Amino acid sequence: MILASTDLHDQGAIPPLFSCEGENVSPELHWDQAPDGARSFAILCDDPDAPGGVWRHWAAFDISAKIRRLPRGAGEAGATGFRQAINDFGEKGYGGPCPPRGRGPHRYRFRLMALSVDKLPARVNARCRDVESLAEKHVISECALTGIFER
């Protein structure tokens, strides 16, 4: 699988639009070459460089296997067509990069997982870490796109 974006380039700077300094909207993401047997997808976004350990920014899941693109802004809390978890900011949906000022660049990993199940058995207000744990049990294939952001 290949995960790409019209808004981000792998290992490139994340534009402020997608951060807490901009409109805090999720970037457009698209993928191809899904493996046979993929019944759904999950997208996770995290910051492994956060001072207190991995900070989870987004988990979108139960994305139909027929879908190959999420448009810009799909991470809004009221989005339909898939489910979203509670991020580490305590909110449902996408929470963009917002690292501490003056602490250097942080990596933001957008991970796409092709899953062997239609739906994950996640509770209504599942947290991103819960979705990640459930998804990892059903991964057929995984790929990532990493952006860099610094304040």
Per-residue pLDDT tens digits for 9-27: 999 999 999 999 999 999 9
pLDDT given at position 118: 98
pLDDT of residue 124: 93
Please work out, in degrees rounded to the nearest 5, the angle formed at the alpha carbon of residue 124 by the alpha carbons of 118 and 127: 90
In order of 37, 55, 56, 69, the CA distances from 48 in angstroms are: 30, 7, 9, 25
**Which residues are within 8 A (CB) of 100 and not within 5 positions of it... i.e. 6 or more apart?**
51, 151
**Chain-wide mean pLDDT for the chain?**
97
pLDDT, tens digit, for every residue of 17-73? 999 999 999 999 999 999 999 999 999 999 999 999 999 999 999 999 999 999 999
Question: How many CB atoms within 10 Å of residue 123?
Answer: 8
Look at the pTM and tell me if it is higher than 0.85.
yes
Query: Domains, the chain, ranges and CATH?
Result: 2-149 (3.90.280.10)
Residue spans of alpha helices (H) in the chain? 128-136
Which residues are 114's β-sheet partners? 41, 141
Does the structure show a pLDDT above 90 at 77? no
State yes or no: pLDDT of 79 exceeds 90.
Answer: no
